[in-house]
Amino acid sequence: MDFPDRLHAYTTRAETALDALLPSATTRPARIHEAMRYSLQAGGKRLRPVLALATAELTGQPCVDPLPAAVALECIHTYSLIHDDLPCMDNDDFRRGRPTCHKAFDEATALLAGDALLTHAFRLLATQYAANPTLSHALTLELSNAASSEQLIGGQMEDLLAEKKSDATPDQLEFIHLNKTAAMIRASLVMGGLCAGLDAPALDTLRVLGRELGLTFQIIDDILDATADSATLGKTAGKDAKADKTTFVKLHGLDGARRHAREHTDAALAALAQLPGDTAFLRQLVETMLVRKS
Amino acid sequence: MDFPDRLHAYTTRAETALDALLPSATTRPARIHEAMRYSLQAGGKRLRPVLALATAELTGQPCVDPLPAAVALECIHTYSLIHDDLPCMDNDDFRRGRPTCHKAFDEATALLAGDALLTHAFRLLATQYAANPTLSHALTLELSNAASSEQLIGGQMEDLLAEKKSDATPDQLEFIHLNKTAAMIRASLVMGGLCAGLDAPALDTLRVLGRELGLTFQIIDDILDATADSATLGKTAGKDAKADKTTFVKLHGLDGARRHAREHTDAALAALAQLPGDTAFLRQLVETMLVRKS
């Protein structure tokens, strides 16, 4: 399969699993499960599940089913978007071209749906890997660190704090990018690697890859916010400049930001070259991230 | 030790562990860790940790340290209070006689602090029981089920839905009590039992005990809301009647509610009698729950 077909195949597998591994929309109380499904099934790139699935298949050997781990990653990502969109945070009415969860339902339901997706991620790792408690534990350790107050949530908090002052530093921006974005991308790769039974050096290489890919991803996000229109992005564009937010573009200019993104992409490709197995798909995915338009 | 001394000793051990097992208040970003600690250290009965610790020591044999599990339970309980207090939910300004998290900080910080405590619960189970992945997995399974959209969060969602209509049914009220309250009390007992290595029949008995104790606890909560003053409760009293909320008191009257509470307490004591070891402390705790004034 060529790259687009394989990307499509991973995305489809992830979306089928999302549907299968969430409580049905009629499970009592129906409203919370409808809201969880509304946001989880809103589309998007499914980058984190795709990274987990592709990494799990790197060696071409049979591995433990990575789909529950992939779904757990998307549950965490989606909960963070639901809560970020709330009025007390970014106050966004649209996400991926559809009303955000609190607009489609209400604030209280969106709050609880976010809580429920966060909880469901850990529940999935516990229920779906019950036959292999050691793997279940390793996956839970990885995900709970990445999603914690020192990483994902810490990055979000620092982002809020940075918004309140105009003199955010490059150090602060790096903290935000590493934790708000790179941590979960790194966890996606490592959790895929854990399902494949990769050894410690390979897992360490995946961590380096995750960091570099995550930084690329976030710099491109900043560039797109500054240059693309809302229809292409599927979310409100130009928000950063409007909020006078410190971004990579504001600190380094568009050209500087593009140069940094290229450097991190090169570092990601160098890490990839050290991994076992067939890395062609991940290599193309990394290159695609650098030139993405949405 | 008599009952009050032992209760005090368990509470003190739990509070020391809460302090030790949370990131320090200066961990970056400091604001999120200050908010997590503010709410976690606001006092309260520490019922869930106490239940876990007492159950872990039932047999008097050395057991795996139950303190991280006890802290994880309190993290989940506290996150649910922080989110329940938010303006889009109950909109409460005071909790345990102090400003609620969003009043002491701000809404966005309180939202993230709740998310972070929820995540930290699972992180603690993964990091602190890393030497025993099988136990870590069993604890995570128990806690993630209890805190899920089908139990704790489901009960909260059903509670919100019931508030919107005046004809909430006894069946709906039972669903709310079982899931919003009893589920986490049951998980506290079972997680203590898992640390003690209790066998499956004993764990099943703990589940029955948790259900009955949880129902007692919630009925008494409804009675206190109708009869006590805010200063005694440490939170706003009379809110249920003001909101014309369907409670046990509204459905069954004060006498009927008290009779139901007594029946559930008797069922809890009957379950306790089937447990191994010295159940004197838990027996007194169950009796105390029935006559509590706050």
Q: For B273-290, what is each residue's pLDDT tens digit?
A: 999 999 999 999 999 999
Taking the C-alpha atoms of residue B218 and residue A255, their distance in angstroms, rounded to an integer, is: 61
- Chain B residues 78-117 with a CB less than 8 Å from chain A: 79, 83, 86, 88-89, 106-109, 111-112, 114-116
Q: What's the mean pLDDT when you consider all of chain B?
A: 94
pLDDT of A20 over the 70 cut = yes
pLDDT of A175 over the 70 cut = yes
Q: Determine the residue type at B165.
A: K
Res. B270 pLDDT band, cuts 50 70 90: very high
What pLDDT was estimated at residue B238? 73
Mean pLDDT of A224-241: 76
What pLDDT was estimated at residue B235? 67
**DSSP letter, residue B228:** S
Using one digit for the tens of pLDDT, what is the confidence trace for A64-83? Answer: 999 999 999 999 999 999 99
pLDDT of A292 over the 70 cut = yes
* Interface confidence (ipTM) of the complex: 0.96
Percent of chain B with pLDDT over 70: 98
- Residue B137 to residue A137, Cβ atoms within 8 A: yes
What pLDDT was estimated at residue A235? 67
pLDDT of B237 over the 90 cut = no
What pLDDT was estimated at residue B169? 86
- Residue given tokens 């109950």 in the structure block: B90
Closest CB to B111 among A33, A86, A147: A86
Among residues B139, B184, B194, B149, the alpha carbon closest in space to that of A126 is found at B139
CB contact, 8 Å: A172 with chain B?
Answer: no
Read off φ and ψ for residue B98, nearest 5 degrees.
-125, 160
A214-244 in b/e form (b: 16+ CB < 10 A) is bbbbbbbbbbbbbebeeeebbbebeebeeee
What pLDDT was estimated at residue A244? 74
Closest CB to A118 among B109, B119, B136: B119
Using one digit for the tens of pLDDT, what is the confidence trace for B30-53? Answer: 999 999 999 999 988 999 999 999
State the smallest CA–CA distance between residue A50 and chain B in angstroms. Answer: 23
State the smallest CA–CA distance between residue A253 and chain B in angstroms. Answer: 27
B140 Cα distance to chain centroid: 16
Minimum mean pLDDT range among A100-109, B78-87, B225-234: B225-234
Higher pLDDT, B270 or B167: B270
State the smallest CA–CA distance between residue A126 and chain B in angstroms. Answer: 5
Q: What's the mean pLDDT when you consider all of chain A?
A: 94
Residue ranges per domain, chain B?
Answer: 3-291
Structure tokens that stand for B227 in this block: 């009869």
CATH of span A3-291: 1.10.600.10
* Residues in B touching A78 (Cβ below 8 Å): none
pLDDT of A169 over the 90 cut = no
